[in-house]
Structure 1
Amino acid sequence: MSTQAVNNQIVIRIANNGHGIPEEVRSHMFDPFITKAPGKDTRLGLSISYQIIVEKHHGQIKCSSKPGEGTEFLIEIPSSN
């Protein structure tokens, strides 16, 4: 994890070296509800995080991931001066 100030933005990077997140999951991970397995379970995904970062703080949240190499979340929030 790293945090830095860049061009009036607070930039937070959170990364791991895990299994990665498949594209079919990444493309829906900010949706309010994600079905884990048909008829089995639902989970919130990252919709609450998205609402806080993007809608409330006017920032951005991005995810990059490669199977077998890990995942990185990049969060950018405007800094208030």
Structure 2
Amino acid sequence: MNQETLKKVFRPSFTTKPIGKGPGLGLSIVYGIVKNHQGKISASSIPGIGTAFEISLPISPPPVA
């Protein structure tokens, strides 16, 4: 996808599907989950090649025994 489209990818209304073929909420939900866990998510894309998403989450402390 081009850079202009990439800027919109985490918006709740974003979708690449035709009208009536899906709500386009998937990436915005993932974004919310990652942010709620103090993580980071980013996307990069090369038009005609593909798109990659990188998610970083903090390490959990070991369980208390």
Same fold (TM over 0.5): yes
Partners of 1:53 and 1:30 lie apart in 2 by 12
Q: Which of the pair has more CA radius of gyration?
A: 2
TM-score (norm: length of structure 2): 0.71
Q: 1:33 aligns with which of 13, 16, 32?
A: 13
Partners of 2:53 and 2:25 lie apart in 1 by 17
The equivalent of 1:53 in structure 2 is 34
Give the aligned length: 59
TM-score (norm: length of structure 1): 0.59
Q: Secondary structure at the match of 1:78?
A: coil
Runs of 4+ in 1 over 3 A off after TM superposition: none
- Any stretches of 5+ residues in structure 1 without a counterpart? 1-20
Q: Secondary structure at the match of 1:34?
A: coil
Q: Which has the higher contact order (CA 8 A, sep 6+)?
A: 1
Q: 1:68 aligns with which of 48, 52, 64?
A: 48
Q: Which has the higher strand share?
A: 1
Q: Which has the higher helix share?
A: 2
